[in-house]
Amino acid sequence: MLFGKRIQKADSLTKYMDALPIPQVLPPKYKGQDHTYYEVCMRECKVSVHSELPETTMWGYEGVFPGPTIEVESGERVYIKWENQLPSTHLLPVDFTVHGAHHDVPEVRTVVHVHGAVVEPESDGYPDAWFTKGFQQVGEKFAKRIYQYDNLMNACTLWYHDHAIGITRLNIYAGLAGFFLVRSERERCLNMPSGKYDIPLMLQDRTFNPDGSLYYPMQPDDPISELKTSIVPEFFGKTILVNGKVWPFLEVEPRKYRFRVLNGANSRFFRLKLDSDQLMFQVGTDRGLLPQPIGIKEIILAPAERADIIIDFTNLEGKRITLINDAPAPFPNGEPDNEVREVMQFRVISELEYIDTSSIPAVLEQVPIYSKKDAFRKRFLTLDHSIDKYGREIMLLDNQGWDAPISETPKLGTTEIWYLINLTPDTHPIHIHLIDFLILDRRKFDVDKYNRDKIIEYQGPSIPPEPQERGRKDTARANPNEVTRIIMQFGPYSGLYVWHCHMLEHEDYEMMRPYMIIR
């Protein structure tokens, strides 16, 4: 049930009226031989999300939504000064019963996490390292003005977004997200589509009031807490946005295009396919290229997952091709939402600016190999659901809250296997900061027996990861009634990081835990 203002019906907006915006690349303030320097300011802004809606007040990096794309070279040392110039009152309803969002901290606070970045702890965007407008107030841990990114990683598609404890779901929903692309000379030599034919696509969902303002649910007064609350198990918007536009279209030439597809939604999963039933060619995952391209008809993206895809529009002049989504909400046991089945439309024009000489290489990038026998430790970690003192559903990792003592302390340079034991009815996208990992397998198990005896009794064979997942990952889908095994090496830095579910409502409440890499 929705409370407050009457909201706009999804089918009341005309689809494919507005062209897809392409986020601008942010120029640095300084670029020298040994480092590059950026300044990025968070500001309130007016945004046109659809030509049939009034402008929407949102928050944006550099005053735009999505934020400008930051492009760096592999190995390039980059400094970014993140500045908060947002109002002191939040754009959306803050739930002060959520941990980290009580009345003893400022209502508006931010901290930036470059999702997938290899960074030292002080520049990772720790949830408690928030700061306010003009850096007047800061959190207790690591709060700093200028972050350092050494980008010691292969070419990949990352994104940056807010990570402030207790209000991450609200800050990202308000607009604080953008692309962060790592490029390399080796990747350029592969001759994949580039320049204006290399397009990032940020997929999100939003609901709008008739006046164009953002809608986020506010529950009635709670009789126990005597507070208004806005925490919900998951949030699913009534419209789909791509790069900040509701149901946009993109004119494409009859040639190959590379699309870096990001699920930037709060809780919605996407299962994407083309209504033309043609193959898409996946060339990359979250943290880099696959060993070789794979032809796919559909792909599932959980919140925060990315897929690097090439679509060939050759000989399709005059066609209109729709990218569609049939993932249930919540995933995987909800119902498909026909209102948001369509995502965007490609319109293939007849003109070709010049001959397409790009390619889909047969060989892309070698993925690291971790031997299971070399694993220094195995960790068995549960994904749990419970009820809080107000009678609301709460999700936990290893049945512990954010403030419980740190229990995961991998040693620097060692390899570990984590068994993610999902005891909930939802699929959870589990993200681990700093490192990338490989998915080993998934396996059904007897949940009732585990709850009763704390014994894993498998009920089927080991299921290898899908071909689309067999690359470097930083976010993995942990399905209900399954144990998902991932393997990773911890480094190159030591210190305090976090791991969490990337469904933002779950993360805020309180499916997030710190972990410490020790020397």
E-state strands within 445-494: 475-478, 482-489
Q: What is the mean pLDDT of each run of 10 residues along the chain (519 residues)?
A: 42 91 98 96 98 97 98 98 97 91 94 98 96 91 87 97 97 98 97 98 97 85 54 91 98 98 98 97 98 97 98 97 97 90 97 96 94 93 90 91 96 98 97 98 97 96 96 98 98 98 96 98
CATH code for 372-517? Answer: 2.60.40.420
Q: Which one-letter DSSP state was computed for residue 469?
A: G
Task: Determine the length of the chain.
Answer: 519
pLDDT at 9: 54
Report the distance separating Cα 108 and Cα 174, nearest Å.
12
Answer for the pair 498, 510: CB distance below 8 angstroms, yes or no: no
Residue 223 in 3-state DSSP? coil
Predicted pLDDT of residue 360: 98
Q: Considering only the top CATH level, what class is 195-348?
A: mainly beta
Residue 102: CB atoms within 10 Å: 11
> Looking at residue 162, what is its pLDDT?
98
Query: Omega into 336 within 30° of 0, i.e. cis?
Result: no
CATH number for the domain running over 10-187: 2.60.40.420
Judge whether 10-187 and 195-348 match in fold: yes
Please name the residues in contact with 231: beta carbons below 8 A apart, sequence gap of 6 or more. Answer: 95, 97, 98, 219, 392, 505, 508, 509
Name beta bridge partners: 513.
499
Give the Cβ contact number of residue 134 at 10 Å: 9
Residue-range domain boundaries for the chain: 10-187, 195-348, 372-517
For the whole model, what pTM was predicted? Answer: 0.95
Is the CB of residue 112 less than 8 Å from the CB of residue 62?
A: no
Instruction: Give the strand pairing for 198-208 and 256-263.
Output: parallel
The reported pLDDT for the residue numbered 227 is 54
Give the residue from 344, 286, 330 showing the smallest Cα distance to 480: 330
State the residue for tokens 């990747």: 187
